[in-house]
């Protein structure tokens, strides 16, 4: 079998070697998506004992018919790879028309040029959305779509009009395309409504361009579960209420505990519960005039206090009085000054008949010499008031 293949390859290559021309690349195609343009080709003559390279160039189509020398722009020169990237050279000419040519090279030999006409706007495929998000909210599915992007990371909507086809169905019916529903919209956010609650739906999106009827491949399938028509479950409401109540009660208790501790601290600091000893406490409170506690007196308070008179007898009078009282048979009898005009004293002695002795008379004379009146013993004695 290997001998037969070698013979066939030799038969194909032999005429070209005899003529001196290299064979041209085969299956030359431009793989274009959005603004990415990759020229690809096949080379089936790997058994040749010579190094083969490739050259790819382009020229604007309206210059082809012009007279004179044509300046082709080389994109890939003498490369050994079987593809060439034209994206950087042609991405800014999206609506242009170009002629692209390719040939093989080996030393001084060249294959015939293979030419292709290329128009990015017409020939480039439309890529799928760059990103799709599906969010389940209020019993519906919200589909968020990001535009296809160019090689310069710019939305393809800046170059062509793009719409989107959204296909969705239940997860269990995903394999049956006839059960799926589809809607088309130019918006980037689409809401899928009228869905079954608590059901898993799968979504995929395709980009469309109506002018050349371009259709991108579908995005990968995304599945999400719906909720109960946007109504919050009762158990979730009850759980939320219980948690909020517990937090509120905990906050109130914590606040009350902190306030109570602060109150206790202030009370113990400024209003202690213990009392000072009685001997100290009696001076800290105001006492009434009738109390037994000693206190300093003011001039005004002296008038209000009840005082007892204390008779103070001069020392000389006291000595005389003691001398008078020594004889038991003698006594000095006071008389009211109003009843008698004498000194207020009279002498009495048993057996004397009411007369005074000589020493008693001298005592009475001494008393009058000092200008004292016998009534001082009763009415004119100095007094000292002492508060009890």
- Number of compact structural domains in the chain: 3
In what order do the strands lie in the sheet containing 131-137?
Answer: 131-137, 140-146, 189-192
Tell me, what's the pLDDT at 269?
A: 81
Residue 9 covered by a domain: yes
More confident of the two residues 327 and 183: 183
Are 72 and 22 part of one and the same domain? yes
Residue 233 covered by a domain: no
Tell me, what's the pLDDT at 283?
A: 64
Residue ending a domain, among 225, 253, 283, is: 225
Are 115 and 153 part of one and the same domain? no
Are 28 and 104 part of one and the same domain? yes
How would residue 270 be classed by pLDDT, with cut points 50, 70 and 90? confident
Q: What is the rounded end-to-end Cα distance, in angstroms, of the chain? A: 149
Tokens 């207020």 belong to residue: 344
Q: Where are the alpha helices (DSSP H) in the chain?
A: 2-19, 87-90, 120-123, 234-270, 278-281, 299-304, 315-325, 358-369
Q: Residue 98 sits in which domain range?
A: 2-123
Residue 155 covered by a domain: yes
Are 117 and 186 part of one and the same domain? no
Tell me, what's the pLDDT at 135?
A: 93
Say if CB 51 and CB 95 are below 8 A apart.
Answer: no
Residue 267 covered by a domain: no
Are 137 and 114 part of one and the same domain? no
Please calculate the CA angle 117-122-127 and round it to the nearest 5 degrees: 120
Q: Is the pTM of this model over 0.75?
A: no
Residue ending a domain, among 225, 244, 278, is: 225
Are 10 and 118 part of one and the same domain? yes
> pLDDT per residue over 9-41, tens digit each?
333 444 344 344 788 999 999 999 999 999 999
- Map 209-252 to HEC letters: ECCCCEECCCCCCEEEECCCCCCCCHHHHHHHHHHHHHHHHHHH
Query: Which helix (H) or strand (E) segment is 42 a member of?
Result: strand 36-42
175 contacts: CB under 8 Å, gap ≥ 6: none
Are 110 and 212 part of one and the same domain? no
Domain containing residue 217: CATH number:
2.60.40.10
Give the mean pLDDT of the chain: 76
Phi, psi for 12 (deg, rounded to 5): -70, -45
Q: Which residues pair with 4 in a beta bridge?
A: none
Residue 247 covered by a domain: no
Tell me, what's the pLDDT at 174?
A: 79
In what order do the strands lie in the sheet containing 26-33?
Answer: 26-33, 36-42, 83-85
268 contacts: CB under 8 Å, gap ≥ 6: none
Say if CB 102 and CB 110 are below 8 A apart.
Answer: no
Are 195 and 162 part of one and the same domain? yes
How would residue 298 be classed by pLDDT, with cut points 50, 70 and 90? low
Are 24 and 104 part of one and the same domain? yes
Instruction: Give, as one character, the DSSP assignment of residue 149.
Output: B
Phi-psi region of 351 (alpha: psi -120 to 50; beta: other; left: phi over 0): left
> pLDDT per residue over 166-217, tens digit each?
999 998 887 777 789 999 999 999 999 989 888 999 999 999 999 899 999 9
Residue 71 covered by a domain: yes
Burial (Cβ within 10 Å: 0-12, 13-18, ≥19) of residue 84:
buried
For residue 142, is pLDDT > 70? Answer: yes
Q: State mean pLDDT over 237-256.
A: 91
- Dmax (CA) of the chain: 206
Are 65 and 173 part of one and the same domain? no
Residue 174 covered by a domain: yes
Enter the tokens of residue 372: 């004292």
How would residue 366 be classed by pLDDT, with cut points 50, 70 and 90? low
> pLDDT per residue over 229-242, tens digit each?
656 667 878 888 89
Q: State mean pLDDT over 250-260.
A: 92
In 3D space, the residue among 298, 292, 303, 279 whose CA is nearest the CA of residue 388 turns out to be 292
More confident of the two residues 306 and 3: 306
Are 7 and 119 part of one and the same domain? yes
Residue ending a domain, among 225, 242, 277, is: 225
Enter the tokens of residue 298: 């003011």
Are 216 and 166 part of one and the same domain? yes
How would residue 254 be classed by pLDDT, with cut points 50, 70 and 90? very high
């Amino acid at each position: 079998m290997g001998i037969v293949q070698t013979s066939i390859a030799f038969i194909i290559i032999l005429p070209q070697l005899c003529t001196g021309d290299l064979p041209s690349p085969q299956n030359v195609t431009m793989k274009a998506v959005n603004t990415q343009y990759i020229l690809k080709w096949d080379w089936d003559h790997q058994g040749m004992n010579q190094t083969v390279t490739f050259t790819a160039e382009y020229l604007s189509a309206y210059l082809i018919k012009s007279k004179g020398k044509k300046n082709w722009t080389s994109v890939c020169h003498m490369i050994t790879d079987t593809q060439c990237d034209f994206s950087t050279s042609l991405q800014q000419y999206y609506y242009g028309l170009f002629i692209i040519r390719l040939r093989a090279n080996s030393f001084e030999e060249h294959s015939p040029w293979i030419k292709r006409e290329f128009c990015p706007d017409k020939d480039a495929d439309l890529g799928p959305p760059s990103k799709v998000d599906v969010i389940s909210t209020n019993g519906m599915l919200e589909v968020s779509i990001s535009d296809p992007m160019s090689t310069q990371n710019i939305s393809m909507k800046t170059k062509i009009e793009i719409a989107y086809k959204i296909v969705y169905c239940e997860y269990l019916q995903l394999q049956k395309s006839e059960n799926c529903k589809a809607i088309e919209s130019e918006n980037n956010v689409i809401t899928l409504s009228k869905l079954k609650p608590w059901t898993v739906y799968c979504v995929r999106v395709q980009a469309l361009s109506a002018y050349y009827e371009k259709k991108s491949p579908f995005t990968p399938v995304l599945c999400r579960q719906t909720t109960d028509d946007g109504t919050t479950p009762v158990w979730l409401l009850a759980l939320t209420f219980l948690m909020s109540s517990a937090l509120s009660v905990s906050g109130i208790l914590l606040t009350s505990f902190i306030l109570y501790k602060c109150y206790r601290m202030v009370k113990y600091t400024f209003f202690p519960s213990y009392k000072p000893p009685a001997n100290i406490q009696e001076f800290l409170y105001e006492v009434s005039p009738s109390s037994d506690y000693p206190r300093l007196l003011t001039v005004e308070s002296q008038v209000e206090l009840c005082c007892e008179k204390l008779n103070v007898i001069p020392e000389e009078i006291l000595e005389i009085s003691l001398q008078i009282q020594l004889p038991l048979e003698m006594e000095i009898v006071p008389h009211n000054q109003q009843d008698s005009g004498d000194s207020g004293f009279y002498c009495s002695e048993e057996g004397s008949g009411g007369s005074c002795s000589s020493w008693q008379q001298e005592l009475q004379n001494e008393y009058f010499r000092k200008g004292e009146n016998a009534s001082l013993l009763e009415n004119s004695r100095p007094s000292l008031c002492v508060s009890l």
